[in-house]
Chains A and B, each alone.
Chain A
Amino acid sequence: MSKIRKYLLVGLLMSPICVSAVSAHAQEVTIALGSEPTTLDPQLREDGGERAVNDNIYETLMARRPDGSLVPGLAAAPPKLVSPESWEVKLRDSIRFHNGEPFNADAVVFSVKRIINPEFNSEQVSFFFTIKDAKKIDDHTVRIFTEGPDPILPSRLYWMKMVPSGYANNPKFAEAPIGTGPYKFVRWNRGQDILLEVNTDYWAEKPQIKKITYRFVEEPGTRLAGLKAGEFDLVTNLLPEFTQEVPKATHVLGLEHPIIILNADAGPTKDVRVRQALNYAVDKKALAEGLYEGFAQVAQGQLLSPSFFGFNKDVGPYPYDAKKARSLLKEAGATETTVEIIGTSGRWLKDREVVEAVAAYWDDVGIKSKVRIFEFNEYLNRLFDRKTRADAIFVVSSNELLDADKSFSAYYKAGGIGSSNTDAELAGLIDKARTETNVETRASLYHQAVKRAYDQAYFVWLLNIEDIYGMSKRLDWAARVDAKMLVKEMRVIE
């Protein structure tokens, strides 16, 4: 008995070593996420943890290449506009869900209707609010109807996961998902981990990695420790200052843009010269290097990354020119004026530091900046306050659809939830672009909007932040611009 106990004890003490040894040779990866999914129903929540897992189990009609370009996924070809308010989608043949259910027009119609059903109450509905209905034409053709013309529909379809019409009604669906994707669900030990294994019947190229384990570690320092100890192969949201410590890191220009919204209607920032001066006054490059260790790029004078639809390549950043800022302020008679800047702390990477650095740059050219950092809820009260807009509000905008519409409707357009201007012409451009189905015309409308906002300096465009992932030595992967962690694109190298 005592011998058995001894072996048991030795075994116990060795078990973590064995665990890391096992994961080191087989084609398995362990990924540490910041939070555990609240559900594995892919259509219900706005939940980063859920998305990270389900992106490997489920697929969408449209997909994106790592560089962000839109390509057909489960669709055989990009959706075709058949009338201003309806799109036709041809589906790929002979694809099956993991439980054998066929993927066909019925599944698509079911998936669309499920997610837009008001009773289903999906948190993702803000991505799909223009979709009215879907109809089966034949087994592999579906028509999707929109409320008014909706040129962004193909991008929206990239966000809508296709679920099996039969199994999705099963009460187990939210705990044991079934999709068409490269990985199949195995087990979810709540609080502990989620296991997936490769789908051997996958319709496209078979992934190299056979098994995935997801772990949930909220604390960045602990995620880093797990990576260094060899327990994890991939960790998300690595802090810039840790990049030197990890075995490997991959980074890519992400979806987040920190900007400062200037009040164009009242106060000292009403004068366009002051707004321009506030842009010239900030050394964006120094912010990127000083605060983000170089893991950020100077924003191109617009709330869009080069990979987004609507990006205007003829507009660039306001250069850092303190002299020009001073002379513009003098011209406007605004030297020594007080500009209040609102920010928050701990919500976004380096949020407080950015605001403080910007304020210091402003002070440098003769502004008297007044920094006010609020707790997030109180901060949101000011961001959403439609009656009295603060002179300057710091915000980080994130755009998952990679299309100008969402960010522009919220921040550029007069009356948008975080906008501080009443520019009717700008609003007109954005409204027109929203329903313009001709791709070129639409792009040109956004180009005009970008240019106009740039000339009027409605914002201080700061940076475009990079997403950084820490990786083990044996993992080979390049991060994607849309922040999806598709394991089928990863390889284990030994």
Chain B
Amino acid sequence: MGRYLLKRMWHGVIVIFGVTLLVFVVTRLVGDPVKVMLPLEATLEQRAAFEKQLGLDRSIPLQFLDFVGDVAHLDFGDSLWQHRPAMEIVFEKLPLTIQLTIVGIGLAFFLSIPLGIIAALRPGGIVDRTTVFFSLIGFSIPQFWLGLLLIVIFAVKFHWLPTSGIGTPTHIILPAITMGLPALARLVMMVRSAMIDELNQQYVKTGYAKGIPFWRVVGVHAMRNAALPVVTLLGWEVIRAVAGYSVVVETVFAWPGIGLTAIQAIEREDLILLQSIVFTVGIMVVLINILMDMVYTIIDPRLKLQ
């Protein structure tokens, strides 16, 4: 187990370094913050002075050396846009995204298990077909549209919830639902199909024959075997939420997390902040993957041997 973890961590380091390197190369190839940040009418001299101030007048190899040093120190310097340490911004914004992910994806996970199981008990029945129908809608809806729809209904029409921002616990409800709904739809489908597979296995019949109660057969024996693909999907959903959905959801709901910050950093060509975000999110993705691997071995001890 220890050696296995070490190997996974080593792989993780390579992945993170690769991703950050890619960001370094791509941003410097396509972007020039000086051009974007100064007013259009600024003169060439003003541009040159600003470039020097940002340290972008040095050659790319020199900048790359700095960059490698930054990675080693886990510090990429000051954000070009906000003029304070980029990592400070990341650590200020990240908890809000994690909060949103936990509530949104957590809700999706806990709802998906009973819904998926109920649907799986009678494949083709009315409950099953209804669940499948709504799941299809759930993961087909574009997330930004879903968010705006919820705002229009619950905030503009009924005034039950605030339209955007943070501050009170009610502020998280709509963004969390927006983030969780497509995940819920996918998770329900996964729980359902995994359970249908398991419920057709011989050991389930054996269980009933031995007189084990229904809830134990389904909830303990079958569920445990069905859990593996569900956990895989859950890990994927968490990663997608932090590194993907957060951009859309946070923009729509003005939720000041890492996703919104990433978009703002891109718009302002803030290479330093963008690097810091990609680096941090990269670490999170790797950690979540390792965590998932560990959960696998708990669910299915056979995996330890491999």
A34-75 vs B, CB cutoff 8 Å, 1 = contact: the mask equals 011011000011100000000000000000000000000000
Within 8 A of B (CB), among A214-248: 215-219, 221-222, 225-226, 228-231
Inter-chain CA distance A219–B165, complex, in Å, is 12
Is A376 part of the contact surface with B, judged by Cβ < 8 Å?
A: yes
Inter-chain CA distance A121–B159, complex, in Å, is 46
Asked whether, in the complex, the Cβ of A38 is within 8 Å of the Cβ of B42, the reply is no
Asked whether, in the complex, the Cβ of A217 is within 8 Å of the Cβ of B254, the reply is yes
Is B167 part of the contact surface with A, judged by Cβ < 8 Å?
A: yes
Inter-chain CA distance A193–B252, complex, in Å, is 17
Is A409 part of the contact surface with B, judged by Cβ < 8 Å?
A: yes
Inter-chain CA distance A231–B253, complex, in Å, is 13
For B159, what are the chain A residues with a Cβ–Cβ distance below 8 Å? 16-17, 20, 229-230
Is A113 part of the contact surface with B, judged by Cβ < 8 Å?
A: no
Asked whether, in the complex, the Cβ of A125 is within 8 Å of the Cβ of B166, the reply is no
* Among B82, B165, B168, contact of A15 (Cβ-Cβ < 8 Å): B168
For A229, what are the chain B residues with a Cβ–Cβ distance below 8 Å? 151, 155-156, 159, 162-163
Asked whether, in the complex, the Cβ of A219 is within 8 Å of the Cβ of B264, the reply is no
B200-222 vs A, CB cutoff 8 Å, 1 = contact: the mask equals 00000000000000000000000
For A228, what are the chain B residues with a Cβ–Cβ distance below 8 Å? 156
* Among A15, A19, A35, A125, contact of B46 (Cβ-Cβ < 8 Å): A125
Is B160 part of the contact surface with A, judged by Cβ < 8 Å?
A: yes
Inter-chain CA distance A409–B36, complex, in Å, is 19
Inter-chain CA distance A410–B39, complex, in Å, is 11
For B148, what are the chain A residues with a Cβ–Cβ distance below 8 Å? 221-222, 225
Inter-chain CA distance A13–B154, complex, in Å, is 12
For B30, what are the chain A residues with a Cβ–Cβ distance below 8 Å? 375, 377-378
Asked whether, in the complex, the Cβ of B256 is within 8 Å of the Cβ of A16, the reply is no
- A interface residues, tally (CB under 8 Å): 55
For A6, what are the chain B residues with a Cβ–Cβ distance below 8 Å? none
- B interface residues, tally (CB under 8 Å): 48
Asked whether, in the complex, the Cβ of B42 is within 8 Å of the Cβ of A12, the reply is no
For A121, what are the chain B residues with a Cβ–Cβ distance below 8 Å? 53
Inter-chain CA distance A397–B32, complex, in Å, is 20
Inter-chain CA distance A20–B92, complex, in Å, is 28
Inter-chain CA distance A193–B170, complex, in Å, is 16
For A35, what are the chain B residues with a Cβ–Cβ distance below 8 Å? 264
Asked whether, in the complex, the Cβ of A417 is within 8 Å of the Cβ of B41, the reply is yes
Inter-chain CA distance A15–B169, complex, in Å, is 10
Is A190 part of the contact surface with B, judged by Cβ < 8 Å?
A: yes
- Nearest A residue to B261, CB-CB: A191
- Nearest B residue to A415, CB-CB: B44
For B83, what are the chain A residues with a Cβ–Cβ distance below 8 Å? 38-39, 44-45
Asked whether, in the complex, the Cβ of A377 is within 8 Å of the Cβ of B156, the reply is no
Inter-chain CA distance A129–B36, complex, in Å, is 20
From residue B153, how far is it (CB to closest CB) to chain A in Å?
A: 10
Is A94 part of the contact surface with B, judged by Cβ < 8 Å?
A: no
Inter-chain CA distance A231–B161, complex, in Å, is 11
- Nearest A residue to B79, CB-CB: A38
Asked whether, in the complex, the Cβ of B165 is within 8 Å of the Cβ of A16, the reply is no
* Among B32, B42, B50, contact of A417 (Cβ-Cβ < 8 Å): B42
Within 8 A of A (CB), among B129-156: 148, 151-152, 155-156
Inter-chain CA distance A219–B249, complex, in Å, is 11
Asked whether, in the complex, the Cβ of B162 is within 8 Å of the Cβ of A410, the reply is no
Is B305 part of the contact surface with A, judged by Cβ < 8 Å?
A: no
For B35, what are the chain A residues with a Cβ–Cβ distance below 8 Å? 377, 380-381, 384
Is B40 part of the contact surface with A, judged by Cβ < 8 Å?
A: yes
For A398, what are the chain B residues with a Cβ–Cβ distance below 8 Å? 39-40
Is A310 part of the contact surface with B, judged by Cβ < 8 Å?
A: no
- Nearest B residue to A376, CB-CB: B36
Within 8 A of B (CB), among A376-399: 376-378, 380-381, 383-384, 395, 397-398
Asked whether, in the complex, the Cβ of A222 is within 8 Å of the Cβ of B163, the reply is yes
Asked whether, in the complex, the Cβ of A12 is within 8 Å of the Cβ of B165, the reply is no
Is B93 part of the contact surface with A, judged by Cβ < 8 Å?
A: yes
For A20, what are the chain B residues with a Cβ–Cβ distance below 8 Å? 159
Asked whether, in the complex, the Cβ of B156 is within 8 Å of the Cβ of A225, the reply is yes
For B161, what are the chain A residues with a Cβ–Cβ distance below 8 Å? 16
Inter-chain CA distance A216–B261, complex, in Å, is 12
From residue A245, how far is it (CB to closest CB) to chain B in Å?
A: 10
Asked whether, in the complex, the Cβ of B260 is within 8 Å of the Cβ of A218, the reply is yes
Is B237 part of the contact surface with A, judged by Cβ < 8 Å?
A: no
Asked whether, in the complex, the Cβ of B254 is within 8 Å of the Cβ of A406, the reply is no
Residues of B bordering A, CB below 8 Å: 30-32, 35-44, 46, 50, 53, 81-83, 92-93, 96, 148, 151-152, 155-156, 159-170, 251-254, 256, 260, 263-264, 269
A-B contact list, 24 entries, CB within 8 Å = A12-B170, A16-B160, A17-B159, A39-B82, A39-B83, A46-B39, A126-B38, A126-B41, A126-B43, A192-B167, A215-B164, A216-B254, A219-B251, A221-B148, A222-B163, A222-B254, A225-B156, A229-B163, A231-B163, A376-B36, A377-B36, A407-B41, A409-B41, A417-B43
- Sorted nearest first, the 9 A-B pairs with minimum C-beta distance are A191-B256, A410-B41, A217-B254, A226-B163, A38-B82, A16-B162, A380-B35, A225-B163, A229-B156
Beyond A38-B83, A410-B41: 10 further Cβ-contacts under 8 Å?
A12-B169, A15-B170, A121-B53, A191-B93, A216-B254, A218-B254, A222-B151, A377-B30, A377-B35, A417-B40
